[in-house]
């Protein structure tokens, strides 16, 4: 599993900024929910659903999006770890309506991946 990537490096004098970052992490962790496909479908219709590869932590992706870590997000897209769902993926998701997904909203996007275990 790929873990924490940070947009910036903190020094001891930046403890306040680090505390803000931890507060954001805690907030995002609380906001991650589990849903079935039907709850995600409206987000596909508005072209906001982004699928997250199991290689990435959903929390880290949401933090990178919230902190506008463009270079990191582009790296993940280039590696295929973040993507809009393809037609094949959408068909598979629709054919398994009982499948549960972890998701979190970081406006304007909805990041989701199949729930693990």
pLDDT digits 0-9 by tens, 74-83: 999 999 999 9
List Cα–Cα distances, 101 to 26, 73, 85, in angstroms: 20, 21, 14
The pLDDT value recorded for residue 18 is: 53
Q: Give the model's pLDDT for residue 27.
A: 94
The enclosing H or E element of 109 equals strand 109-114
**End-to-end CA gap in the chain:** 15
Bond before 108 cis per omega within 30 degrees:
yes
Question: Which pair of tokens denotes residue 38?
Answer: 């039907």
Q: What is the pLDDT of residue 2?
A: 42
pTM: 0.82
Q: Which residues of the chain have pLDDT under 50?
A: 1-5, 9-16
* Residue carrying structure tokens 């629709």: 94
């Amino acid at each position: 599993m790929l873990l924490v990537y940070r947009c910036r490096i903190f020094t001891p004098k930046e403890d306040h900024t680090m505390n803000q970052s931890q507060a954001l992490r805690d907030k995002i962790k609380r906001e991650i929910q589990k849903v079935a496909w039907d709850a995600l479908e409206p987000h596909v219709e508005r072209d906001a659903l982004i699928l997250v590869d199991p290689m990435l932590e959903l929390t880290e992706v949401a933090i990178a999006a919230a902190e506008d870590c463009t270079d990191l997000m582009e790296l993940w897209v280039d590696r295929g770890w973040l993507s809009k769902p393809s037609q094949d993926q959408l068909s598979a998701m629709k054919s398994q309506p009982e499948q549960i997904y972890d998701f979190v909203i970081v406006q304007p996007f909805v990041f989701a991946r199949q729930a693990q275990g």
